[in-house]
């Protein structure tokens, strides 16, 4: 859609326009040594000049003299916690004096929320979560309420990290869909592109300038460079057959020796959706809350059925993670569950690399 | 003339004290032949556990000596190491440690007053029974206790064995909004805390003066908590490093706690001793209430400890709110430290009284030897002396039940923390 | 357990063995819920709070502290015999506590080192978990256990069902709270990946490494974590001390710690 | 709108003790219009909510034609089911459902029906048996095979006896460990396979029981010439939501709650052969 140019000095105008349109703004911020999404009101809140260094099991920030706000690759969070909350009360039960039980539920608060700085991989992941939580016959009301209030300001990725591989999955670095607005950041300002009518409405309030041919070329070059910087890749976009043909591969045992089965990978993964039901009765016993909380295929509870844990060891649990993410996801959603964000590589405390493990198990599988 | 009788009273488990203790009393006519405060808390040998540990592990380990005053153990330990390593963590850390300690005083004193001591004074078996008739008093107490706990949580994430303290400062600085929230609650608690002192002073406390020496830290400018010199009402005034020159511990057969004596004599530590020695360091608001209490301070009636405790709650609430009023988040909540070999010594004021630590440290910063002298071992001889005195004053011709009740009441008024009292050191220092 | 009949207040005892009293405090720190709790159950023995009746038969016994004297050994049998449901609370009762370190050292020498007249001190050479002496119905891990854990256990028992066992790794709670991983972002030697949930990931939430006070999680890979900590530049003996700390008596930690201590003597 | 996961209040109208650990709850929704709208097919399940404790998936075992009550037969094994075991007539619980796909009743018409169950796997199959016996003319031979570990575990012995008297119906029951009054086979249930009166070419198999048992049974039936696509298995996995969202019940790419619990063997063949999937 329409593209215009927003000079760096007027970036605050975007935040103001969003606030005026009734949105709370969430954007990248440095917190506890990482870039995370948090409430922003002023452009000074953004991580100007920050860049990241990531490798398996490693993440550090460095402050540079760059003027850019978005010159970094994704931190530990995706959009996931904002739509699929880590812990959410689904309904409440109340014991009535006559022994009856009264159930009630309310959707979460649906304050309008604009998220700034979202990358292509996370948009692809959001689309996958949408397919999961909004699928017919009935969408999940809690997810739907959080999702409906979301306004997405994407940023085409200019600085992928060492662990990124969205080119290999076909999901980045350029955001192609799923945003209301998308920005290309240049040193002196931003190319602004709207993806929805809602986005166009906000853009209209910004009094954008005409985009110069140079700026357009610089933005394109930057994305191309980002593409070329990536060196990790998966053997193929569809590893379903290769994985399910290798369910007894010795590599599973090997990775089980290194894996902590801690669930960090599934927690930071923007597409993982597993959750457990948690019942919390009040001490008096008069009321009880039923919540869902993020769970992981690396926990025992995930596959526990009275007295049997189907996946009792790490070998089976890691195999479940990889065969689901890169294999059976195709069956469930028509594509792989991996969008190449690289989080599970950086944030694995022991630095296990999904591309390397998939490569080892599926050696020989080529693009279909 | 009362009839001659021989009494043997055993209270096998002392209720409403922390840890496991018992009392044995034998009399012959009007004479007390045996009076033993038995502490049979099994020893946990913390001084040995500490050996070979890195200085940075010590705050976590010593906290586990006592669940009621873990902050005190952490404070004595970090100050000891910082003194040895020559580190000054700066005013923010100093202030926030004071707030943290205030939290512990408030929670510990509120717990003691309401759940342990008040039922005695009002004639109930326990606080739950007491709550039926004095709901508001108990509720106020529980709220103050919760406030103290939340102050500890602000800096420690939890109130028992908090995780925020490190040598050099804190792991984490609370956010301004978290502090603001607590500040509001602190202000709201001021009238409750003041009312609590008046309530305590109005209790029908047994009368009677005793002769005892009070011992506490004294600081030139502050009511004592984390710093000061060792002083006594008998004129002692020495640096904490000189503790071992004046105080000696000895083992007795009936107790796993060691008795600590000052120049061979029992002495008192704790809130009453602190108030007795530091009256003029209290802010005017607290002094006014103390003056209006009808008690002449310094007090020689050990039962006034409950009033002293209430006054310290009031003080701690005021002090924490004074410090947090203009809170700001520092650039870093701690100063990096470089270990050094030597002897690390510090003493701070635990809710129950002065707590002295000594660590012999090697050049890697590992503990070679540790010695910890907690308040309860310091008070133990004093408690026995008080029991003797109080029973004689009370008269042995009361029924066994009445005698037992009176003994328990005396012991409890010292708020002995028997869990702490389990790990006292060898007697090599007896030569002093 | 069967559900509690209307009008019946289950009888509860809180027993103390070798401990710091911090776990019992999870009751006393309940605030006003303490009053609510005492309207739901009858504390028949809870020395620190008042009632002393250690021999009364009870529905639920909470046991704090480790078994470290010959008397303790007898007393815990009695506690078991008089209780329908026995819950250990905290690292001492569940894994022997910090004081279980003496099991790995020369306990007698330790006592001699501290007490001038060791003969006065009556203590076993060991400090052991309650489950090594009697059957335990539920173990609540943590040093200390939290009020939340106790309330959940009591509530479940009042409903007549077994309490939920928490056994996932601290990392799961850490990520649910959206805490930035301190191991990855700061290179800190976090024990979260082998430690049981329950605390709410307090240490990482304060920007520091977990020191495993909740004991081992299910399926802990202590060897993989050891290699990682070595990679962070931590000396083997220091890693060993991290395992041999608050929960040194829990089997996966004892093994991991001793392995490190012996390999690198 | 916001009711996807919300249970509905139901009342225990009748309670039957089937064995020391197995019991049947006969239920009715408290809201009559809800009850009137409630429809299920054999093999489907409900989520049962025990107040303050949690939810568990349990098959509906009653006859779908019975619109007065619906039944759940439950074995008390863990925290929720042991809690459910304490419910008495008049007590309330929460129910949501029915979920999943039931047995292939339409495909079974005109064919011999072989029902193989192990342990409490018989529960979800009972309604199929009732369905077939009530519409006898639509089906060929009916063979019912049930295995239990211990003779005391067998519930509904009376029903098995009654079914065995019906025409064109064969009942084969085995217990690994028998007792003195045990009238049936003592030994593995698979020992009985050679006795089954079936025509492999026109047989449809419905199976429910422990995975190990089903694996062996499938192998033996394939040896007898039964086609993979003629065998249907009811699978069990952990279920938290029952609507295909929580991810716990994944079995390869399937969500057992939504795509199952009844699967055609041809579809899950590879998965069933691997342990820990
Ligand atoms: C489709 C289907 C139909 C079924 N039909 C029947 C039937 O008709 N009759 C019958 O008796 N049974 C049936 N079952 C089995 C029944 O669901 C289980 O026996 C029941 O779930 C056991 O629950 P429990 O709480 O009693 O047992 P537990 O063993 O205590 O718990 C089992 C479940 O609780 C959860 N859980 C327990 N502990 C934890 C933990 N620490 N962390 C996280 N989660 C935990 C797990 O999700 C686990 O699946 C069926 C199962 C399925 C899938
Ligand atoms: S699998 Fe790993 S790389 Fe792929 S989307 Fe998930 S976290 Fe990112
Ligand atoms: S900080 Fe520790 S507990 Fe949290 S995810 Fe990292 S390793 Fe796990
Ligand atoms: S994070 Fe670890 S050490 Fe810290 S409180 Fe939790 S379990 Fe204990």
- Window 182-211 of C: residues touching A by CB (8 A cutoff) are 182-186, 190, 192-194, 207
Report the CATH number at residue D200: 3.40.50.80
Instruction: Give the residue numbers in C contacting D (CB under 8 Å), as ranges.
Output: 2-3, 155-156, 159-164
The answer to whether the CB atoms of B128 and C72 lie below 8 A apart is no
By C-alpha distance, the chain A residue nearest D11 is: A100
Q: What is the tally of structural domains in chain A?
A: 2
Note the pLDDT of residue C33: 92
Domain residue spans of chain C: 11-158, 170-264
Q: How far is C149 from chain A (nearest CA, A)?
A: 11
Question: Is any atom of ligand 3 closer than 6 Å to the C-beta of A264?
Answer: yes
Global pTM reads: 0.93
D and B touching (3 or more beta-carbon pairs closer than 8 Å): no
D132 and D61 within one domain: no
Q: What is the tally of structural domains in chain D?
A: 2
- Window 68-107 of B: residues touching C by CB (8 A cutoff) are 68, 70, 107
Q: How confident is residue A190, by pLDDT bands cut at 50, 70 and 90?
A: very high
Note the pLDDT of residue A155: 97
The answer to whether the CB atoms of D53 and C3 lie below 8 A apart is no
The answer to whether residue D110 neighbours chain A at the CB level (below 8 Å) is no
What number is the average pLDDT over the span A346-362?
97
The answer to whether residue D71 neighbours chain A at the CB level (below 8 Å) is no
B424 and B359 within one domain: no
* Rounded distance from Cα A347 to ligand 2 centre (Å): 10
D115 and D232 within one domain: yes
* Nearest ligand 1 atom to alpha carbon D74: 11
Predicted ipTM > 0.90? yes
A100 and A81 within one domain: yes
The answer as to whether A212 is a domain residue is yes
Q: How confident is residue C112, by pLDDT bands cut at 50, 70 and 90?
A: low
Question: What residues have CB less than 8 Å from A91, skipping those under 6 apart?
Answer: A103, A104, A105, A289, A290, D5, D6, D7
D221 and D180 within one domain: yes
- CA separation, residue D57 to residues A180, B348, D61, D99, D261 (Å): 41, 58, 13, 9, 11
The answer to whether the CB atoms of A284 and C40 lie below 8 A apart is yes
Interface test with C, best of B163, B258, B333 (most C CBs within 10 A): B163
Question: How many angstroms separate the CA atoms of A50 and A32, rounded?
Answer: 14
Q: How confident is residue D1, by pLDDT bands cut at 50, 70 and 90?
A: very low
Per-residue pLDDT tens for B16-50? 455 566 777 787 777 788 777 776 666 778 888 99
* Nearest ligand 2 atom to alpha carbon A165: 3
D263 and D145 within one domain: yes
Note the pLDDT of residue A292: 97
Note the pLDDT of residue D47: 97
The answer to whether residue B166 neighbours chain C at the CB level (below 8 Å) is yes
Candidate from A264, A328, A344, A347 with most ligand 2 atoms within 8 A of CB, to mutate: A344
Contact list, D52 vs chain C (CB under 8 Å): 155, 159
Lining ligand 2 with CB less than 6 A are: A 268-271, 325, 338-344, 354
Per-residue pLDDT tens for B214-244? 999 999 999 999 999 999 999 999 999 999 9
Note the pLDDT of residue A51: 96
Domain that holds residue D121: 105-272
What number is the average pLDDT over the span B138-149?
95
Candidate from C168, C170, C220 with most ligand 3 atoms within 8 A of CB, to mutate: C170
A67 and A203 within one domain: yes
* Nearest ligand 3 atom to alpha carbon C195: 3
Question: CB-CB: which of A33, A257, A296 is closest to C180?
Answer: A33
The answer to whether the CB atoms of C245 and B60 lie below 8 A apart is yes
The answer as to whether A235 is a domain residue is no
Contact list, C162 vs chain D (CB under 8 Å): 78-79, 82
**If residue C28 lies in a helix (H) or strand (E), which one and from where to where?**
helix C25-28
Candidate from C168, C201, C203, C209 with most ligand 3 atoms within 8 A of CB, to mutate: C201
B197 and B72 within one domain: yes
- Which of A172, A205, A229 delimits the end of a domain? A229
A13 and A7 Cβ atoms separated by less than 8 Å: no
B339 and B407 within one domain: no
Closest-approaching ligand to the CA atom of C211 = 4
B57 and B25 within one domain: no
Closest-approaching ligand to the CA atom of C141 = 4
Q: Is it the case that residue B402 has pLDDT exceeding 50?
A: yes
B178 and B32 within one domain: no
Per-residue pLDDT tens for C126-180? 899 999 999 999 999 999 999 999 999 999 999 999 999 999 999 999 999 999 9
Q: Is it the case that residue C248 has pLDDT exceeding 80?
A: yes
* Rounded distance from Cα D77 to ligand 1 centre (Å): 8
D156 and D27 within one domain: no
A261 and A199 within one domain: no
D251 and D135 within one domain: yes
Note the pLDDT of residue B425: 24
Question: What residues have CB less than 8 Å from D128, skipping those under 6 apart?
Answer: D42, D43, D103, D105, D113, D115, D206
Closest CA to B77 of B99, B96, B62, B94: B62
D148 and D78 within one domain: no
The answer as to whether D228 is a domain residue is yes
Terminus-to-terminus CA distance in chain D, angstroms?
35
The answer as to whether A367 is a domain residue is no
**Which residue(s) pair with B262 in the sheet?**
B247, B265
Q: Is it the case that residue C119 has pLDDT exceeding 60?
A: no
The answer to whether the CB atoms of A275 and D247 lie below 8 A apart is yes
A245 and A217 within one domain: no
The answer as to whether A234 is a domain residue is no
For chain A, what is the HEC assignment? CCEEEEEHHHHHHHHHHHHHCCCEEEEEEEECCEEEEEECCCHHHCCCCEEEEEECCEEEEEECCCCCCCCCCCCCCCCHHHHCCCEEEEEEEEECCCCCEEEECCCCCCCCEEEEEECHHHHHHHHHHHHHHCCCCCCCHHHHHHHHCEEEEEECCCCCCCCCCHHHHCCCCCCCCCCCEEEEEECCEEEEEECCHHHHHHHHCCCCECCCHHHHHHHHHHHHHHHHHCCCCCCCCCCHHHHHCCCCCHHHHHHHHHCCCCCHHHHHCCCCCCEEEEEEECCCCCEEEEEEEECCCCCCHHHEECCEECCCCHHHHHHHHHHHHHHHHHHHHCCCCCCCCCHHHHCCCCCCCHHHHHHHHCCCCCCC
* Rounded distance from Cα B63 to ligand 3 centre (Å): 23
Note the pLDDT of residue D22: 92
The answer to whether residue D93 neighbours chain A at the CB level (below 8 Å) is yes
Q: Which long-range contacts (CB under 8 A, 24 or more apart) does B324-330 make?
A: B324/B99, B324/B179, B324/B182, B324/B183, B324/B186, B325/B183, B327/B174, B327/B176, B327/B179, B327/B180, B327/B183, B328/B176, B329/B173, B329/B174, B329/B175, B329/B176, B330/B92, B330/B173
B63 and B75 Cβ atoms separated by less than 8 Å: no
The answer to whether the CB atoms of B143 and C199 lie below 8 A apart is no
- Mean of all residue pLDDT scores within chain B: 88
Question: Which of the pair, A194 or D63, is modelled with greater confidence?
Answer: A194
The answer as to whether D277 is a domain residue is no
Pick the CATH number of C11-158 from 3.40.50.700, 3.50.40.10, 3.30.1490.20, 3.40.50.2300: 3.40.50.700
Contact list, B43 vs chain C (CB under 8 Å): 111, 114-115, 121, 123
The answer to whether residue C264 neighbours chain A at the CB level (below 8 Å) is no
The answer to whether residue A48 neighbours chain C at the CB level (below 8 Å) is no
Report the CATH number at residue D52: 2.40.30.10
By C-alpha distance, the chain D residue nearest C165 is: D79
Domain that holds residue A337: 240-361
Note the pLDDT of residue B344: 97
- Which of A170, A200, A229 delimits the end of a domain? A229
Q: How far is D54 from chain A (nearest CA, A)?
A: 6
What strands lie across the sheet with B21-28, from one edge to the other? B6-11, B21-28, B31-39
Per-residue pLDDT tens for B256-304? 667 788 888 899 999 999 999 999 999 999 999 999 999 999 999 999 9
- Which of A210, A229, A248 delimits the end of a domain? A229
Note the pLDDT of residue C122: 58
Domain that holds residue B38: 4-43+380-431
Report the CATH number at residue B245: 1.10.645.10
Interface test with D, best of C4, C161, C166, C167 (most D CBs within 10 A): C161
What number is the average pLDDT over the span B373-378?
86
A262 and A214 within one domain: no
Residue D257 main-chain phi, psi, to 5 deg: -65, -35
């Amino acid at each position: 859609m329409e593209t215009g140019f927003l000079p760096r000095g007027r970036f605050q105008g975007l935040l103001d326009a969003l606030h005026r349109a009734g949105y709370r703004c969430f954007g990248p911020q440095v917190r506890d040594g990482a870039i995370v999404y948090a409430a922003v009101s002023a452009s000074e809140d953004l991580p100007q000049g920050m860049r990241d260094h990531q490798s398996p099991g490693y993440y550090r920030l460095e402050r540079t003299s760059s003027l850019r706000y978005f010159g970094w690759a994704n931190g530990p969070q995706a959009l996931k916690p904002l739509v699929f909350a880590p812990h959410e009360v689904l309904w409440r039960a109340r014991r009535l004096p006559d022994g009856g039980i009264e159930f009630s539920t309310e959707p979460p608060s649906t304050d309008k929320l604009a998220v700034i700085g979202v990358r292509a991989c996370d948009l692809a992941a959001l689309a996958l979560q949408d397919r999961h939580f909004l699928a017919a016959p009935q969408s999940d009301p809690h997810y739907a309420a959080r999702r409906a209030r979301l306004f997405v300001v994407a940023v085409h990725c200019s600085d992928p990290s060492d662990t990124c591989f969205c080119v290999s999955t076909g999901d980045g670095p350029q955001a192609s869909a799923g945003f209301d607005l998308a920005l290309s950041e240049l040193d002196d300002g931003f190319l602004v592109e709207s993806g929805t009518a809602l986005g166009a409405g906000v853009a209209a309030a910004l009094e954008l300038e005409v985009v110069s041919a140079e700026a357009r070329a610089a933005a394109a070059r930057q994305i191309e460079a980002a593409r070329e910087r990536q060196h990790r890749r998966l053997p193929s976009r569809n590893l379903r057959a290769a994985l399910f043909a290798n369910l007894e591969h010795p590599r599973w045992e090997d990775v089980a020796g290194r894996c902590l089965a801690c669930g960090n990978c599934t927690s930071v993964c923007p597409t993982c959706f597993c959750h457990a039901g948690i019942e919390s009765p009040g001490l008096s016993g008069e009321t009880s809350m039923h919540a869902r909380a993020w769970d992981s295929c690396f926990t025992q509870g995930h596959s526990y059925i009275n007295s049997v844990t189907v996946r009792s060891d790490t070998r089976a649990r890691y195999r479940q993670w990889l065969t689901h993410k890169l294999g059976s996801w195709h069956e469930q959603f028509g594509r792989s569950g991996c969008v190449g964000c690289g989080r599970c590589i950086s944030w694995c405390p022991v630095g296990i690399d999904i591309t390397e493990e998939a490569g080892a198990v599926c050696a020989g599988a080529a693009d279909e | 003339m009362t009839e001659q009788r021989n009494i043997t009273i055993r209270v096998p488990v002392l209720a409403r004290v922390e840890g496991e203790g018992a009392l044995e009393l034998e009399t012959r006519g009007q004479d007390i032949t045996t009076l033993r405060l038995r502490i049979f808390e099994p020893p946990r040998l913390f001084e040995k556990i500490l050996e070979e540990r890195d200085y940075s592990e010590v705050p976590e380990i010593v906290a586990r000596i006592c669940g009621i005053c873990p902050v005190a153990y952490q404070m004595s330990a970090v100050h000891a190491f910082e003194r040895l390593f020559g580190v000054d963590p700066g005013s923010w850390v100093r202030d926030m440690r004071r707030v943290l300690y205030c939290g512990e005083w408030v929670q510990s004193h509120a717990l003691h007053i309401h759940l342990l001591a008040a039922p005695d004074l009002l004639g109930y078996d326990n606080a739950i029974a007491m709550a039926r008739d004095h709901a508001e008093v108990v509720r106020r107490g529980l709220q103050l206790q919760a406030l103290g706990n939340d102050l500890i949580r602000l800096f420690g994430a939890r109130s028992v064995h908090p995780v925020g303290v490190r040598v050099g400062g804190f792991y984490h600085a609370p956010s301004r909004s978290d502090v603001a929230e607590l500040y509001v609650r602190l202000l709201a608690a001021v009238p409750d805390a003041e009312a609590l002192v008046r309530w305590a002073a109005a209790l029908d406390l047994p009368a009677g003066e005793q002769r005892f020496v009070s011992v506490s830290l004294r600081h030139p400018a502050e009511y004592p908590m984390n710093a000061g010199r060792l002083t006594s009402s008998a004129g002692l005034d020495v640096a904490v490093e000189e503790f071992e020159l004046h105080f000696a511990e000895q083992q007795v057969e009936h107790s796993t706690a060691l008795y600590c004596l000052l120049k061979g004599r029992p002495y008192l530590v704790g809130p009453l001793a602190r108030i007795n020695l530091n009256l003029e360091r209290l802010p005017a608001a607290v002094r006014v209430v103390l003056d209006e209490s009808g008690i002449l301070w310094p007090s020689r009636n050990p039962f006034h400890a409950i009033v002293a405790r209430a006054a310290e709650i009031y003080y701690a609430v005021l002090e924490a709110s004074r410090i947090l009023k203009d809170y700001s988040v520092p650039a870093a909540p701690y100063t990096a430290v470089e270990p050094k070999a030597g002897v690390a010594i510090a003493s701070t004021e635990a809710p129950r009284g002065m707590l002295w630590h000594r660590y012999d440290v090697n050049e890697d910063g590992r503990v070679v030897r540790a010695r910890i002298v907690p308040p309860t071992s310091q008070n133990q001889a004093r408690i026995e002396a008080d029991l003797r005195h109080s029973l004689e004053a009370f008269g042995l011709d009361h029924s066994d039940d009445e005698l037992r009740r009176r003994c328990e009441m005396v012991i409890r008024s010292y708020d002995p923390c028997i869990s702490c009292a389990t790990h006292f050191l060898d007697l090599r220092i007896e030569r002093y | 357990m069967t559900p509690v009949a209307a009008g019946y207040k289950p009888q509860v005892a809180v027993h103390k063995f070798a401990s710091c009293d911090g776990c019992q405090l999870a009751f006393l720190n309940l605030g006003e819920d303490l009053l609510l709790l005492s309207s739901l159950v009858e504390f028949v023995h809870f020395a620190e709070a008042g009632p002393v009746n250690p021999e009364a038969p009870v529905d639920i016994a909470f046991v704090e502290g480790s078994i470290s004297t010959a008397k303790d050994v007898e007393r815990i049998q009695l506690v078991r015999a008089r209780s329908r449901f026995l819950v250990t609370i905290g690292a001492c009762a569940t894994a022997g506590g910090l004081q279980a370190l003496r099991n790995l050292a020369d306990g007698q020498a330790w006592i001699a080192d501290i007490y001038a007249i060791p003969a006065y001190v009556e203590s076993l050479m060991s400090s052991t978990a309650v489950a090594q002496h009697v059957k335990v119905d539920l173990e609540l891990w943590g040093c200390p256990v939290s009020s939340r854990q106790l309330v959940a256990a009591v509530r479940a028992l009042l409903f007549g069902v077994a309490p939920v066992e928490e056994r996932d790794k601290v990392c799961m709670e850490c990520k649910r709270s959206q805490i930035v991983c301190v191991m990855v972002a700061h290179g800190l030697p976090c024990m979260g990946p082998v430690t049981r949930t329950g605390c709410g990931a307090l240490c990482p939430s304060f920007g520091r490494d977990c020191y495993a006070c909740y004991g081992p999680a299910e399926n802990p890979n202590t060897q993989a974590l050891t290699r990682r900590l070595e990679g962070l530049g931590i000396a083997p003996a220091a890693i060993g001390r991290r395992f041999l700390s608050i929960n040194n008596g829990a089997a996966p930690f004892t093994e991991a710690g001793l392995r490190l201590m012996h390999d690198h003597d | 709108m916001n009711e996807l996961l919300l249970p509905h209040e139901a009342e225990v109208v009748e309670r039957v003790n089937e064995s020391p650990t197995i019991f049947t709850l006969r239920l009715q929704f408290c809201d009559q219009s809800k009850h009137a709208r409630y429809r299920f097919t054999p093999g489907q399940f409900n989520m049962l909510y025990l107040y303050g404790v949690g939810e568990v998936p349990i098959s509906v075992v009653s006859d779908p034609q019975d619109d007065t009550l619906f039944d759940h037969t439950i074995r008390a094994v863990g925290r929720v089911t042991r809690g459910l075991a304490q419910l008495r007539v008049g007590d309330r619980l929460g129910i949501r459902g029915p979920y999943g796909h039931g047995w292939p009743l339409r495909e079974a018409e005109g064919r011999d029906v072989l029902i193989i169950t192990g342990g409490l796997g018989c529960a979800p199959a009972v309604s199929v048996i009732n369905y077939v016996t009530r519409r006898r003319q639509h089906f060929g031979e009916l063979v019912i095979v049930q295995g239990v570990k211990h003779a005391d575990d067998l519930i509904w012995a009376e029903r098995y006896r009654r079914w065995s008297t019906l025409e064109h119906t064969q009942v084969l029951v085995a217990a690994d460990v028998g007792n003195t009054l045990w009238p049936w086979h003592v030994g593995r249930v698979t020992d009985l396979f050679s006795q089954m009166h079936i025509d492999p070419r026109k047989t449809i198999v419905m199976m429910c029981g422990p995975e190990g048992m089903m694996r062996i049974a499938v192998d033996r039936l394939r040896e007898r010439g039964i086609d993979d696509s003629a065998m249907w298995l009811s699978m069990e996995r952990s279920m938290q939501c029952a609507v295909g969202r929580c991810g716990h019940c994944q079995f390869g790419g399937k969500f057992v709650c939504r795509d199952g619990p009844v699967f055609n063997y041809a579809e899950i063949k590879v998965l069933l052969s691997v342990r820990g999937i």
